[in-house]
Amino acid sequence: MKEHNLKFPKIDKSWTLFLDRDGVINEKIENGYVLNVKMFKFIDGVLDAFPVLNEIFGRIIIVTNQRGIGKGLMSEKDLEEIHNYMLEEINKVNCRIDAIFYCPHDYEKEECNCRKPNIGMALQAKSMFPDIDFKKSIVVGDSMLDIEFAKNIKAYSVLIVEDYKPNIEFLSFKSLYDFACFLLDKRIN
């Protein structure tokens, strides 16, 4: 990534926030998948981050690879139930998610253009919300696939990493909550 990714410009309601789900919003299951609502656990602080993010960004969109569907471990109905639960909890803190896009494909079995780092989900979002400007977008994810996805749409990128270390190529934070605090602090100062 270019150095400009480290220097965020002023963000206003014309900006879009793309969020990965597993490892950013909910706890990731290492070597496994969140297959039902009982397995979905919000990461500490995430629900506190949403009021800040909702105030700053004009759109908040989730883009998530859900390979468990392609592997036959869960159905799209299972995923819909998980997402409905997640949205209900976010709504309880008077916040919103504008759309959720997911890739159900298993990359070992299928070729697709939607699995990150491919840009299919970003194009779906742009189709639904034509005013999205990828150059005025931030992608927050927990893997290098998310960073590549951001690069492929020419958006800014943020990596959520538990063992936080400053990075010269992109911004990284320990949690979505820490990223929201950074944005709030940047706005105030």
- Would you name the residues annotated as active-site residues? 20, 22
CA distance 20 to 46: 13
Nearest to 97 by CA among 62, 55, 56: 62
- Torsional sign, CA 116, 181, 33, 68: negative
Q: Are the beta carbons of 58 and 18 closer than 8 angstroms? A: no
CA distance 70 to 109: 8
Q: How far is CA 55 from CA 17, 92, 140, in A?
A: 12, 16, 17
CA distance 174 to 189: 22
CA distance 89 to 17: 19
Q: Which residues pair with residue 154 across a beta bridge?
A: none
